[in-house]
Amino acid sequence: MDALKRSLILFFPLALGPLAHLSFAANLTPSRFSDCPSLQIPALTSLDLKNPALDLVSPMENAFQSQEETLEKMAGLKLLKATKIQEARLKEVIALAQTTPTGRRILRKMRKLASQSGSYPIVFSSLGKNLGQYDYASQTLELNRQFLHEDIRLSVSTLIHEMTHILQHSQNVPAESLEMELEAYLVHMKTLRELKMPVKDWDPFSRQAFKLVKSDPQKYIDWMAEQHPGKFLLKDGNSEELADFQEQELERQDKLIEHLNRKIEENPKDINLKKKKKRARIILSWIERDIALLRSPKALARYRRFSKRVHSLLRRLSDRL
């Protein structure tokens, strides 16, 4: 096993079951999460404008007065079950994101989306080595408690990465499309560059992604597909093939629900089993939705436009990132 593979396994452990499959697990079960890895580097525990490591790209006076604004107004987010320290840290991260062109754009879109559909819940939880993830089945953005102790620039890129997924899922394109991860990581890396974080300080996954984007965009696509085997990529004439693949996922999900029903019959008071069944049904509905989108001419045209935009962004950033 070479050094790169060892480092990737360190940062992206395998998921422990089909309902908690993480983005980088080598498992054909589709991911219901979109994840961002953690990086073990010295923490910047507060937004210190005198710290030369930040080297901000925009004057801070253009950012929010972070401790006075609510998270709903800042980013269209509703923080659940958090401490005052966690809330303050998150506001500092959002304020720093506001100083970058990419961060301002994503935050502006998040506020607009929240004004139409309501604020999105965000929680701090234990996520192992993943610094953040967006669970689209529950429409919840999760941040690792370690978020408080990471380099604030990495925290910014994590938050922007996961908010990108929220915006993507609002566009009514297939939830398991690889294009979503391709774009989210491009946005993630672009944010790190705008924050002037040296590439050598990035996590191994992002450094490898950056290397491939710069050297050969197609190799980046192929490599990302290997890291996300449960996701699919739109190509000319393959929409029906993708729909068939999702039909197989539908059958697997049906079998899981049947299995859970049997378990619940044996243990009718088991609350966790009932929660798993509820979640499995939600995922089933998402798979059915993806199949319908892939077989609808109008929805397929929308997916093609989304895919084309992501590929265009990749080509541009290959030269400019």
The per-residue pLDDT for range 180-211, each reduced to its tens digit, is 999 999 999 999 999 999 999 998 899 999 99
Average pLDDT over residues 230-249: 92
Q: What is the DSSP string of 60-105?
A: GGGS--TTTS-HHHHHSEEEES--HHHHHHHHHHHHHHTTSHHHHH
Q: What is the pLDDT of residues 7-21, one digit of tens each?
A: 333 333 323 233 332
Q: Report strand pairing: 140-144 vs 120-125.
A: parallel
Phi and psi at 269, nearest 5°, equal -100, 5
Q: What CA–CA distance (Å, rounded) separates 65 from 63?
A: 7
Q: What is the pLDDT of residues 40-91, one digit of tens each?
A: 333 333 333 333 334 443 434 444 455 568 999 999 999 998 899 999 999 9
Helices 297-320 and 217-227 pack at an angle, to 10 degrees, of: 120
Q: What is the pLDDT of residues 262-305, one digit of tens each?
A: 999 999 999 999 999 999 999 999 999 999 999 999 999 999 99
Q: What CA–CA distance (Å, rounded) separates 298 from 265?
A: 43
Tokens of 59: 């004057």
Give pTM, 2 decimals.
Answer: 0.80
pLDDT score recorded for residue 129: 82
Q: What angle do CA 173, 231, 222 make, to 5 degrees?
A: 115
